[in-house]
Amino acid sequence: MNRADIAIVGGGIAGLTAATEAARRGLRVLLFERAERIGGRSISTREGGFTFNLGPHALYDSHFRKALHDFDVPFHGTTPARNRFAERDGKFHRLPITASAVATTRLFGVRDRLDFLQAFTRIMKAKGEYLDELSTTLVSEWLDANVRRPRARAAAESLFRLASYANAPGITSMDAVAAQTMAGTVLYVDNGWQELANGLREAAQRSGAKIRSGARVERVAAADSGYELTLGNGEQVEARSVIVAVEPADAARIVEGPAGGTIERWAKATVPIRAACLDVALAKLPNPRRPWVLSVETPHYFSVHSSYAKLAPAGGGTVSAVRYLAPGEDGMAAEAELEQFVDLIQPGWRDELVYRRFMPALVVASDIPKAASGGMAGRPGPAVPGAPGLFVAGDWVGREGLLADASAASGRAAAGLAAKLLADPASPVRGRVSIPA
Ligand SMILES: Cc1cc2nc3c(=O)[nH]c(=O)nc-3n(C[C@H](O)[C@H](O)[C@H](O)COP(=O)(O)OP(=O)(O)OC[C@H]3O[C@@H](n4cnc5c(N)ncnc54)[C@H](O)[C@@H]3O)c2cc1C
C-alpha cells in the first residue's frame, strides 16, 4: 500500500498550493488528480496559436499571486490599463476606475461623479470594525445606503460584478466585494493560466511532492492510522492527513462517515458564482482600439486578453464575452446576446473568425460569500470538525480571498494546519509514515 503524511485530492490551484506548501514544510505528499491534465478550472486551451483560459481570468494582487512568488513560480503578465470602456446605450465612455478617469468620464454628470467617488473612497478605505460590519451587509443594501444617484449606482454595481464575478447583490456580502476591489491591480498572464498550474506542479515536485494525474479518488475513510483512500483502479493509499481540494459536492461524495455528512451540509448551503462565456479567436481585430468593455446597464463584460498579454499570433485576438449569471439563471439564452454584444464592440468580427466556443454555465467559484452566513468569515473549513487531520480547500473555503485567491489561501492554510497537527506530540495523527520507493 502507498503511504503519505498528507494525501491531497484534486490538482487545481487549491490542491497544488496545498501540495507545495506541505512539501516545503518537509512532509511527504501524494496528490491525486482525476483528469489527465492538472489545473482544474485554471487550465488553458490552445487552438491554432490562440490561447484561451476557461473564461477570462485575471490574476489579482492577492493570495494566489503571493503564493506564486513565495514558491518561485515564474510568470509574466500585463495590467490591462489602456483602452478600457464603460458602455451604456451602445455608447462607450472612459471606465471610471482611476481618480482621473472618474473626473473626466462622460459616463455621468457632476453629481453622479461625486456620489460615485465618495462611495468608492469608502470601500477603498474599509478596515477594522467597518469591514466586519460589511460581512453581514448585502451588496444591494450597501448600494442603497451609499450610492443614491441611479447612474452612479449602476456604474458601481457593474464594477462590483467585475471585481467579484458575482451577480447576486441580494445574497452576496459586501466584505467580499470590498476585498476584491482592494486587491490591487490585476494581471493578464502570458500563455494562459495553465502556465501557473504547471509552475505550481513543478514547485511542488521540486520540494518532493508526488503528483499523479489520471487518478480519481473514489473514497476517503477514517482508519486507525489516519485515513485510507481508495482510487478508481482499486488501489489503496494510507495517509495521516488528507486535504480534499475539490468542489463541495464532489468532496461530499467521496468522504465517508460523519465528516462526509458535515461536508454534505456545507455543500447544500453553497450558491455557486456562474458565468456564460463566448470565446472567439479572430485573425484580425476589426477595432483594435476597443479591447475592453464593461456594460453598466446589463451584466455583460468583454475583453480581448491578447491585447494585453501574449495569447495570440501577431495581429490576432482572443476575444471573451461574458454574461454574469444570477443564481439559478439558465446560461443557454446568453449566446445570442453575447454575439450581439461582440457585434456592438467589434463589428465585422464574423469575417475574421478562426475559432469559437460557447460555454453556457461555467462555475467561476463554488460559493458566494453570503451576508446571511457572516460573509467570508462564515465560509467553512479548512478543518472538518470532529475529523482530526481531515481538511478541505478551494474557492468555497476559509475566511481569506475570493476566486483563485480563496483556493490558494485555503490550500496553504490547510497544509499549515496539517503540518502543525502532524508535529504535535499529543495529536491522534502524529508521526511520519513514508512513501515506499
Ligand atoms: C469563467 C471563469 C472566470 C474566472 N476568472 C477568475 C479570475 O479572473 N480571477 C481569479 O482569481 N479566479 C477566476 N476564476 C476562478 C478560478 O478559476 C477558480 O477559483 C480556481 O481555479 C479554483 O481552483 P480549485 O483548486 O479550488 O478548484 P478546481 O480548479 O475545480 O480544482 C479541483 C480539482 O479536483 C479534481 N477532482 C475532483 N474530484 C476528484 C476526485 N474524486 N479525485 C481526484 N481529483 C478530483 C478536479 O478534476 C479538479 O482538477 C474564474 C473561473 C471561471 C470558470
Architecture field, domain 2-42+194-270+369-423? 3-Layer(bba) Sandwich (3.50)
Q: Is the CB of 277 under 6 A from ligand 1?
A: yes
250: Cβ contacts below 8 Å, ≥ 6 apart: none
Q: 234 and 14 in contact (C-beta within 8 Å)?
A: no
Atom of ligand 1 nearest to the CA of 395: 26
Q: 185 and 62 in contact (C-beta within 8 Å)?
A: no
Atom of ligand 1 nearest to the CA of 41: 29
Predicted pLDDT at 53? 97
Q: Is the CB of 60 under 6 A from ligand 1?
A: yes
Place of cell 458564482: 273
User: Could you tell me the distance, in angstroms and rounded to a whole number, from the CA of residue 109 to the centre of ligand 1?
Assistant: 41
pTM listed for this prediction: 0.96
Euclidean distance between CA atoms 153 and 160, whole angstroms: 10
Predicted pLDDT at 429? 64
pLDDT tens profile 313-366: 999 999 999 999 999 999 999 999 999 999 999 999 999 999 999 999 999 999
Q: Is the CB of 55 under 6 A from ligand 1?
A: yes
Query: Within 10 A of 395 (CB to CB), how many other CB atoms are there?
Result: 30
Q: Is the CB of 195 under 6 A from ligand 1?
A: no
Q: Is the pLDDT of residue 114 over 50?
A: yes
Q: How long is the chain?
A: 437
Euclidean distance between CA atoms 298 and 32, whole angstroms: 41
Q: Return the CATH number of the domain spanning residue range 44-79+187-191+273-365.
A: 3.30.519
Separation in Å, CA 274 to CA 55, 225, 250, 324, 325:
11, 39, 17, 7, 6
Query: Angle 63-70/404-423 helices, nearest 10 degrees?
Result: 60
Q: Is the CB of 366 under 6 A from ligand 1?
A: no
pLDDT tens profile 29-88: 999 999 999 999 999 999 989 999 999 999 999 999 999 999 999 999 999 988 999 999
